[in-house]
Amino acid sequence: MKILEILCFILLETTMDTYGLIIAVLSIVGLWMVFKKCGVQGWWALIPYARSYKLGVCAGRESEGRFLAVLDLLSALVGGLSLYVFTDPDTTVGIFFLFIAFFMATMTVIYTIRVYSGLCEVFGRTKWWVPVAVFFEWIPLLVFGFLPKFQPQWTVQELQSEAANFFSGSKAAVLDNGLTVNLEERTAREFFKKKYLLRDIHMYIQPGHMVLLLGGSGAGKTTYLNAVNGYEKAKAEVVLNGTNMYKHYKEMQYDIGFVPQLDLMRGSDNVLRTLLDAAALRLPKDFSAADRKARVEEVMKIFGLTPVKNNLVSKLSGGQRKRLSIAMEFISNPSLFILDEPDSGLDGVMARELFQQLRKIADQGKIIIVITHTPDRVIDLFDDVIVLAKDAKRTGRLAYFGPITEAREFFGKEKMEEIVKSINREEEGGEGRADEFILKYAEVQHG
Same domain, 22 and 116: yes
What H or E segment, with its residue span, contains residue 194? strand 193-205
Lowest mean pLDDT among 52-61, 83-92, 133-142, 410-419: 83-92
Sheet holding 243-244, edge to edge: 243-244, 235-240, 179-190, 193-205, 396-403, 384-390, 210-215, 367-371, 336-340, 256-259
C-beta of residue 340 within 8 angstroms of C-beta of residue 225: yes
Give the per-residue pLDDT at 421: 93
C-beta of residue 146 within 8 angstroms of C-beta of residue 222: no
Same domain, 118 and 182: no
Same domain, 220 and 79: no
Same domain, 89 and 189: no
Same domain, 178 and 211: yes
Same domain, 135 and 207: no
Q: Assess if residue 20 is contained within a domain.
A: yes
Q: Which amino acid is at 63?
A: S
Residues β-bridged to residue 183: 201, 236
Tens digits of residue pLDDT in 171-199: 777 888 899 999 998 888 765 557 788 98
Number of domains present in the structure of the chain:
2
Q: Is the pLDDT of residue 154 over 80?
A: no
pLDDT band at 13 (very low <50, low <70, confident <90, very high): very low
Same domain, 321 and 428: yes
Give the per-residue pLDDT at 204: 94
Domain interval for residue 30: 3-150
Task: Find the length of the chain.
Answer: 447
Burial class for 286, CB neighbours closer than 10 Å (0-12, 13-18, 19+): exposed
Burial class for 119, CB neighbours closer than 10 Å (0-12, 13-18, 19+): buried
Long-range CB contacts for residues 74-82, cutoff 8 Å, separation at least 24: 74/104, 75/5, 75/101, 75/104, 75/105, 75/108, 76/4, 76/5, 76/8, 78/104
Nearest in space to 44 (alpha carbons), one of 99, 86, 3 = 3
Average pLDDT over residues 370-377: 90
Q: What is the CATH number of the domain that holds 286?
A: 3.40.50.300
Task: Check residues 442 and 88 and name the one with the higher pLDDT.
Answer: 442
Same domain, 251 and 368: yes
Same domain, 143 and 168: no
Q: Assess if residue 156 is contained within a domain.
A: no
